Chains A and B, each alone.
Chain A
Amino acid sequence: MSTTPQAIPYTEAAVPKKRWLSRQNWERIVSVVILLPSILALGLFVYVFIGWTGFISLTAWNSAAPDFTFVGMQNYARLFIGSGTDAIRFRYDIRNEVGFLVLFVGGCIVIGFLLATLLDRKIRGEGIFRSIFLFPMAISFIVTGVAWRWILTPGDPNTGWIGVNLLFTNLGLDFLRNGWFTAPTVVYFHPETGVGQLLTNIGLGFLATPDFGYAVAMTSIVVAAGWQMSGYTMALYLAGIRSIPDDLREAARVDGASEWQIYRHVIIPLLRPVTLTVVVILAHIALKIFDLVYSMTGGVSAGFATDVPALNMWKTTFDATKFAQGASIAIILLLMVGVLIIPYLIWQTRSEEH
């Protein structure tokens, strides 16, 4: 970027032409001045408040009256250690969050990619289909949550089936009926059989508990969130596929590759940056998910089978006025998002430098 300054021989004649600031320095100063307000605002409203939240999480401020007594990691310990209600609920939150993260991101990628490849066939009315698949993204999660709650409310054999269960009943597919987001089932390795026993034997028995299982009720949230976001994933993939030059496909065809082989060895590898972007975007949505769960189940169904950390954080802070406890959940949530985003940012900065 910078050019090595040439030594200008000092002459009387050169003086009047010399600017007190070189154009380059001037531009640099202007850019700093222009950026300064947003840097300051960002610093204050993001980083100072992150620091403040971190500080609060180490205090005893667990009622409406601020109390800044330092209590160390006590608020964190309450979330992880012991069999108290707070710990149980938080362990369930993490379990649900991980299950949701994996299925939601995975599901969106598979469906989004499939839709994108289908649309790439240059079918007639592509624009219409694209809009149809993209539209759910324009809806707020709150609306999605309410709509899917209505669709997936299970009903009861005595008071009548509702929604999808009613549809299944009318189609004679009774075996497909289930409790959806009210299902209390948690799938996990049972400590006395198979993998669970193996885990117990090698001293990893704690993995063979419901805390490390998958709450089936979470599937309903995955369906609703996937419905909303797979169209967006499709759009990203479609843009990615379209940006692959046709020459590459042609070359592969000339070499006698089948369509499947073209996808397997040409397109999918070239889409890797898109996939990474999709993963990061969807994963941080998944980690921060709040409004969808709030409107769909409130998090309380089937003994916190659909509760997530963000919801717990909000309830703890504003309903129960346990500010320090809520701050500790916020910090854990931040760390979880950080684990995901920071490697991505590093990767992105590096690839920009190249």
Chain B
Amino acid sequence: MKKFVYVLLVAAMLLATIGTAAAAPNSAVTCDQTYTVTAGDWLSKVADKFLGNVKAYWAIMWATNQKNAEDSSYAKVTNPDALEVGQKLCIPSQADAEAFLKDFDPTSATGLAKLFPQGAKGRLIVASWWTNGGEFAGLNQMFEMFKKQNPDVEIVNAAVAGGAGTNFKGQLLSQLLGGVAPDVFQLHAGWEADTYNPGVLIVPVDDVYKRNNLESVFPATLLAMLKFKDHYWGVPVNIHRSNVLWYNKALLDKAGVTPPTNWDEFFAAADKLKAAGIQPVALGGKDGFELQHTFEDILAGSMTADEYAGLWTGKTSWKSDKVTNALNTFKKYITYANADHDALTWAAATQLLIDGKAAFNIMGDWANGQFVSANFTDYGWAPVPGTKGTFVALSDSFALPAKAPDVANANLWLDLAGSKPAQEAFNKQKGSICARTDCDYSSFNAYLQSAAKDWTVDAIVPSVTHGAAATPSWATKGYADAIVLFATTGDVAAAQAALVQAATDAGFAQ
């Protein structure tokens, strides 16, 4: 029995030497010592014990992950707050740790990427609400491109269904608050970043902009929209336009009406349509954003682009007569709409246009995708009356969670998302235009070509309903609820007071 133990010991020692000998030549990091995690440990405690500095936990995380690439007996630490008992950590020498910490910045994407060994491997978790139709096809195109560039990375598609991310956002937020994160996730560009406590749950991606030179390929107004608290929080992949007036050409011809450019013309046209027995306006409301969407476009059409943008930055007062006019216009607009608008989704309202049951519909340009998939061609589009020269924009971007499991892969994805080939491939499928101004639109459909042209010349202002203009509490509560009530009561004074209050609550005294 004793003999056997000796043999075992010798064998184990031999094996250990072989193991070290094999691993040593490639090693970039040398471990001063190793440490196995026991119950009650956390990384900063270990850092304090061995390196005399609680903040040196980043260095341990870095060294352990480097080691892990060579020797899988070392742990892969993806979340510094979540150690597991039994994980083997590599403690670097004091000098190595200090050298690493000297130029390590935990608040930047490239900084965090340093924590993981170079050379794409492992996984990439992409979270979005793109689950069907063109957007799903577009996402898959991007996946394919990524796979071609990084064949060793396994892509995990963590998509949650639900229009405009209604289900996705709540789920993601609770995950992030709980310290579990995907590598990258979909975020409406602009103020929606505020949902995720920027700087805490998500980190800036300024580095991605710098190394891909994105500031020179995105329009300056878009960059201003993307910048929040002086940083970029997402890489935009596409642009949608909110302020589009769609119309059924056959019905307009039948009533002898031309597409209106201002509200007087619009209501004159609507009266003519009504006289001809045609429903003038198709409107939705069931998904809780259609009314607010329509009103933001009317608002943008009732003032200059600068004034509209100023509503969300405190420069324009909500007490302005122009807001009153917009409310009155919206009230009148609703009287021309189908009575059951609260029961219809935006898609059902668009369907009324396709079926030839209504003439006009204000909706974002995702409606174009529905026209295309229904093989309906007899439609036209114009800016919402009063908004010619203004592009009310929203944009989907990819953001980087602070606790992304594999920041290196996330960075590779963000590089791809900002690139020209990826944007061209994605947007053609999704039915949107590139955030970049240098895309080739020759193979895009007619609507997208016209939108792309406007994108380069129009004044770009943010959409509030789609997360670009204001904090979530202002956009989805203060502003949104005021519009829901107004659409039923028609009380202009009360609605304006509520809108003023909403702006005040958001910190912009009127």
Q: List the interface of chain A (C-beta within 8 A of B).
A: 62-65, 83-86, 88-89, 149, 152-160, 162, 179-182, 184, 297-305, 314-316, 318-322
Given A64-B201, A298-B286, A86 contacting B487 (CB threshold 8 A)? no
Within 8 A of A (CB), among B329-376: 338-344, 352, 357-358
Contact B343 A320, beta carbon cutoff 8 Å: no
Interchain CA distance A126-B473 in the complex, whole Å: 54
Q: Does B123 contact A (CB under 8 A)?
A: no
Closest to B291 in A: A300
Q: Which of B16-24, B126-134, B389-397, B474-482 contacts A (4 or more CB under 8 A)?
A: B474-482
Contact B472 A320, beta carbon cutoff 8 Å: yes
Given A85-B498, A320-B476, A301 contacting B195 (CB threshold 8 A)? no
Interchain CA distance A162-B488 in the complex, whole Å: 22
Q: Does B484 contact A (CB under 8 A)?
A: yes
Q: How many residues of chain B are within 8 Å of chain A by beta carbon?
A: 46
Contact A305 B488, beta carbon cutoff 8 Å: yes
Contact B288 A153, beta carbon cutoff 8 Å: no
| Min C-beta distance of B470 to chain A, whole Å | 11
Contact A159 B357, beta carbon cutoff 8 Å: yes
Given A159-B358, A319-B169, A182 contacting B352 (CB threshold 8 A)? no
Interchain CA distance A155-B358 in the complex, whole Å: 13
Q: Does B197 contact A (CB under 8 A)?
A: yes
Closest to A84 in B: B501
Query: In the complex, what residues of B have CB within 8 A of residue A315's CB?
Result: 476-477
Known: A63-B471, A301-B342, A315-B477. 16 other contacts (CB 8 A): A63-B197, A63-B473, A64-B173, A64-B472, A85-B482, A149-B286, A152-B343, A154-B339, A159-B352, A180-B343, A181-B342, A182-B343, A297-B286, A298-B286, A318-B169, A318-B173
Contact A304 B339, beta carbon cutoff 8 Å: no
Closest to B482 in A: A85
Query: In the complex, what residues of A have CB within 8 A of residue B287's CB?
Result: 298
Given A85-B501, A158-B338, A319-B169, A301 contacting B473 (CB threshold 8 A)? no
| Min C-beta distance of A290 to chain B, whole Å | 13
Contact A65 B488, beta carbon cutoff 8 Å: no
Interchain CA distance A249-B96 in the complex, whole Å: 91
Query: In the complex, what residues of B have CB within 8 A of residue A63's CB?
Result: 194, 197, 471, 473
Q: Does B456 contact A (CB under 8 A)?
A: no
* 4 closest cross-chain pairs (CB), A and B: A303-B488, A318-B170, A301-B342, A158-B279
A-B interface pairs (CB < 8 A), number: 123
Query: In the complex, what residues of B have CB within 8 A of residue A304's CB?
Result: 481, 484-485
| Min C-beta distance of B172 to chain A, whole Å | 10
Query: In the complex, what residues of A have CB within 8 A of residue B200's CB?
Result: 65
Interchain CA distance A89-B486 in the complex, whole Å: 12
Closest to A150 in B: B343
Closest to A181 in B: B343
Contact of B485 among A88, A162, A182, A319 (CB under 8 A): A88
Contact B484 A154, beta carbon cutoff 8 Å: no
Contact A64 B343, beta carbon cutoff 8 Å: no
Contact B340 A153, beta carbon cutoff 8 Å: yes
Q: Does B285 contact A (CB under 8 A)?
A: yes
Query: In the complex, what residues of A have CB within 8 A of residue B285's CB?
Result: 300-301
A-B contact pairs, 14 of them (CB 8 A): A63-B194, A84-B498, A89-B485, A154-B340, A156-B340, A158-B278, A159-B340, A182-B339, A300-B285, A300-B484, A304-B484, A320-B477, A321-B173, A322-B477
Interchain CA distance A153-B169 in the complex, whole Å: 28
Given A160-B357, A182-B339, A319-B472, A85 contacting B194 (CB threshold 8 A)? no
Contact of A89 among B278, B481, B501 (CB under 8 A): B481
Tell which of B170, B200, B286, B352 has the most Cβ of chain A within 10 Å.
Answer: B286
Closest to B342 in A: A301
Contact of A302 among B201, B342, B357, B471 (CB under 8 A): B342
Contact of A64 among B194, B278, B484 (CB under 8 A): B194
Query: In the complex, what residues of A have CB within 8 A of residue B338's CB?
Result: 156, 158-159
Tell which of A84, A153, A157, A300 has the most Cβ of chain B within 10 Å.
Answer: A300
Contact A303 B485, beta carbon cutoff 8 Å: yes
Interchain CA distance A226-B489 in the complex, whole Å: 29
Closest to A162 in B: B340
Contact B471 A319, beta carbon cutoff 8 Å: no
Contact B358 A64, beta carbon cutoff 8 Å: no
Interchain CA distance A323-B352 in the complex, whole Å: 39
Contact B279 A86, beta carbon cutoff 8 Å: no
Contact of B286 among A152, A301, A316, A318 (CB under 8 A): A301
Q: Does B196 contact A (CB under 8 A)?
A: yes
Query: In the complex, what residues of B have CB within 8 A of residue A300's CB?
Result: 285-286, 288, 342, 484
Within 8 A of A (CB), among B37-52: none
Tell which of A64, A157, A181, A304 has the most Cβ of chain B within 10 Å.
Answer: A64
Contact A159 B279, beta carbon cutoff 8 Å: yes
| Min C-beta distance of A298 to chain B, whole Å | 5
| Min C-beta distance of B402 to chain A, whole Å | 13
B162-174 CB mask vs A (1 if < 8 Å, else 0) is 0000100110011
Query: In the complex, what residues of A have CB within 8 A of residue B478's CB?
Result: 85
Query: In the complex, what residues of A have CB within 8 A of residue B357's CB?
Result: 158-160
Closest to A180 in B: B343
Q: Does B282 contact A (CB under 8 A)?
A: yes
| Min C-beta distance of A142 to chain B, whole Å | 12
Closest to A160 in B: B357
B478-509 CB mask vs A (1 if < 8 Å, else 0) is 10011011011100001000100110000000
Interchain CA distance A84-B501 in the complex, whole Å: 8
Query: In the complex, what residues of B have CB within 8 A of residue A299's CB?
Result: 288
Within 8 A of A (CB), among B160-199: 166, 169-170, 173-174, 194-197
Contact of A156 among B196, B279, B484 (CB under 8 A): B279
Within 8 A of A (CB), among B203-243: none
Query: In the complex, what residues of B have CB within 8 A of residue A322's CB?
Result: 473, 477
